[in-house]
């Protein structure tokens, strides 16, 4: 019944706008493009210190804002809940129950709502407020042949045997077997461009959520993109880390005094044979090529929005779902051991050493509660709405729970948020766009797997499973190299108590320390 009432409110709101504002150009409401990549490193983009060629995203950063302390949840599906609902994922589940999605809320304010790409859940977004959805309902796919089991004529059996459902609006496809020439990053963009090119697109503002699954494993990329990086990674993990760190210092993202380069987590380069080094370098070449291809496709979207004359009043947010992946999932599915790395039959990942390198200067990686797991390099670009000072670096701690509240404020009072689901946990980021401070009073909280953490002002308290809690002053030690827990035991207890109270509020249960099975 509550869902029915919300649907009635949605229809009524749209009808009211159609009657009262038939000729309204919605200049007060920006278009919104939300772009998320999957398992990309903190320092992969050129504007965050990387050597990968990302001119389109660098341009957005140069004419917009870079956020150095935007937080995610360290894991794919949990991040997507927080991003689209404004809630800590602990209030929901893998199918986003007990929430209102961005498409549902923005639709009540007259927005066209589109989603292309990855959806790490079982339900169809078309049934939850999106006018169009085209993508897969799962965690990872073969980029060349997402069928996962059936080889196309003249090709190897796809590496990675997962075979998720796909949805195209209301149509569910159990075995999606596209023609040769399919490449996920390119096709996700093609579908988005079809919606953007609709003749009537300018009549109402749009919300486009473009959820790339690159550069998530398996490592698959166009050969021409891979070749761009021939020789670039032959110098090894540590050298790439140092070079990225120096570029971060030179650009003002960090200072040596407040963000010392953390010690390598995993680096066996010198012990590798020449053949082993060449294979490792190729892994990173393909990862770079996947990021490069994302940037190329972002450029295609920007060109279309510019051509339509709408770039000035379009808010573009770019971010990542979690830190780079350290995983070695090669045993999960079939692969052709003779298939060249990067092709349809291969199934490879970058591994721990490269994950550590691409997260420069932060510690750890995906699913970890340290900064390398929970921090995303975010870019915001909106010529009409962001402070005119170009190339702004924002160091204010933010969280994905803040995205929906931001979009709701920009959509205006006509945006209807249902009263039968929890109120959003986040706050609007629009003051930061104006160069003002946020009025956040509550800490930011984290919990996934064996990690739990709380961030309040400059202080961060973090724990892995049953290990002692660690305390860091991130204003002086962004890379978490100096544990202050023994010096400030009272602060540890205070922050730990707040974390437990938060967990109780979200889950209606007491926290139980989790040990590894």
**Res. 194 pLDDT band, cuts 50 70 90:** very high
How confident is the model over 198-229, as pLDDT tens digits?
Answer: 866 667 999 999 999 999 999 999 999 999 99
**pLDDT of the residue at 418:** 96
Strand duo 392-394 + 132-136: pairing? unpaired
CA 480/CA 465 separation, integer angstroms = 18
**pLDDT of the residue at 252:** 96
pLDDT over threshold 50, residue 517: no
* pLDDT (average), residues 22-35: 70
Least confident range from 130-134, 329-333, 434-438, 504-508: namely 329-333
Tell me whether residue 334 is exposed, middle or buried, using C-beta atoms within 10 angstroms of its C-beta: 0 to 12, 13 to 18, 19 or more. Answer: middle
**pLDDT of the residue at 265:** 83
**Res. 332 pLDDT band, cuts 50 70 90:** low
Task: Please indicate, yes or no, whether the overall pTM of this predicted structure exceeds 0.75.
Answer: yes
**Res. 333 pLDDT band, cuts 50 70 90:** low
Query: What residue ranges do the domains of the chain occupy?
Result: 2-433, 450-507
2-433: which CATH number, 3.40.50.720, 3.40.720.10, 3.30.230.10, 3.40.50.2020? 3.40.720.10
**pLDDT of the residue at 163:** 84
* pLDDT (average), residues 159-184: 92
pLDDT over threshold 60, residue 386: yes
**pLDDT of the residue at 2:** 52
Least confident range from 154-163, 209-218, 328-337, 365-374: namely 328-337
**pLDDT of the residue at 18:** 38
Q: How far is the CA of 110 from the CAs of 10, 113, 189, 271, 462, in angstroms?
A: 9, 9, 24, 59, 42
Equal fold, 2-433 vs 450-507: no
pLDDT over threshold 50, residue 46: yes
Least confident range from 168-172, 235-239, 305-309, 511-515: namely 511-515
How confident is the model over 97-113, as pLDDT tens digits?
Answer: 999 999 999 999 999 99
- Compute the mean pLDDT over every residue in the chain, rounded to the nearest whole number: 92
**Res. 328 pLDDT band, cuts 50 70 90:** confident
Q: Give the closest residue to 314 by CA, choosing from 22, 30, 5.
A: 30
pLDDT over threshold 90, residue 497: yes
pLDDT > 90 in the chain, percent: 84
Q: Give the closest residue to 302 by CA, choosing from 243, 379, 372.
A: 379
CA 22/CA 19 separation, integer angstroms = 6
450-507: which CATH number, 3.30.70.2190, 3.30.1120.10, 3.40.1180.10, 3.30.465.10? 3.30.1120.10
* pLDDT (average), residues 44-64: 97
pLDDT over threshold 80, residue 21: no
Contact 274, 376 (CB under 8 A): no
**pLDDT of the residue at 343:** 96
> Rg of the chain's alpha carbons, rounded to an integer?
22
Q: Which of helix, strand or coil describes residue 505? A: helix
pLDDT over threshold 70, residue 8: no
129: left (phi over 0), alpha (psi -120 to 50) or beta: left
């Amino acid at each position: 019944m509550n869902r029915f009432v919300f649907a009635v409110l949605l229809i009524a709101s749209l009808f009211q706008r159609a009657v009262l504002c038939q000729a309204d150009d919605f200049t007060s409401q920006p278009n919104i493009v939300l772009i998320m990549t999957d398992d990309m490193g903190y320092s992969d983009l050129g504007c965050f210190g990387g050597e990968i060629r990302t001119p389109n995203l660098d341009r957005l950063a140069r004419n917009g804002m870079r956020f150095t302390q935007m937080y995610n949840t360290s894991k794919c599906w949990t991040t997507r809940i927080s991003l689209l609902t404004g809630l800590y994922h602990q209030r929901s589940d893998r199918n986003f129950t007990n929430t209102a999605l961005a498409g549902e809320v923005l639709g009540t304010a007259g927005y066209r709502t589109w989603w292309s790409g990855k959806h790490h859940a079982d339900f169809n977004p078309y049934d939850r407020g999106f006018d169009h959805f085209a993508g897969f309902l799962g965690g990872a796919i073969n980029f060349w042949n997402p069928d996962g089991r059936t080889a196309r004529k003249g090709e190897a059996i796809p590496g990675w045997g997962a075979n998720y459902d796909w949805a195209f609006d209301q149509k569910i496809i159990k075995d999606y077997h596209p023609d040769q020439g399919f490449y996920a990053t390119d096709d996700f963009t093609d579908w988005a461009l079809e919606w953007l090119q609709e003749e009537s697109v300018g009549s109402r503002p749009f919300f486009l959520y473009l959820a790339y699954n690159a550069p998530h494993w398996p490592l698959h990329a166009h050969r021409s993109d891979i070749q761009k990086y021939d020789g670039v990674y032959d110098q090894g993990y540590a050298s790439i880390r140092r070079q990225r760190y120096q570029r971060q210092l030179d650009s003002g993202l960090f200072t040596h005094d407040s963000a010392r380069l953390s010690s390598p987590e995993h680096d066996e380069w010198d012990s590798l044979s020449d053949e082993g080094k060449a294979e490792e370098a190729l892994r990173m070449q393909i990862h770079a090529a996947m990021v490069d291809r994302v940037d190329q496709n972002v450029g295609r979207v920007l060109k279309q929005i510019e051509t339509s004359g709408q770039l000035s009043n379009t808010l573009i947010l770019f971010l990542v779902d979690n830190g780079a992946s350290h995983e070695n999932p090669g045993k999960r599915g079939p692969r052709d051991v003779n298939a060249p790395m990067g092709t349809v039959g291969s199934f490879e990942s970058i591994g721990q050493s490269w994950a550590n390198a691409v997260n420069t200067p932060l510690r750890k990686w995906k699913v970890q509660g340290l900064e390398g797991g929970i921090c995303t390099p975010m870019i915001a670009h909106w010529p009409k709405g962001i402070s005119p000072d170009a190339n702004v670096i924002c160091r204010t701690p933010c969280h994905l729970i803040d995205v929906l509240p931001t979009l709701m404020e920009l959509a205006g009072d006509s945006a209807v948020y249902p009263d039968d689901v929890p109120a959003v946990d986040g706050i609007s980021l629009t003051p930061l766009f104006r160069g003002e401070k946020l009025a956040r009073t509550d800490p930011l909280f984290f919990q996934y797997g064996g990690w739990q953490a709380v961030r309040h002002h400059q202080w961060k308290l973090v724990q892995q499973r049953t290990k002692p809690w660690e305390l860091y002053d991130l204003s002086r030690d962004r890379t978490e190299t100096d544990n202050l827990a023994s010096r400030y035991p009272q602060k540890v207890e205070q922050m730990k108590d707040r974390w437990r109270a938060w967990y109780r509020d979200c889950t209606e249960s007491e926290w139980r320390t989790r040990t590894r099975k």
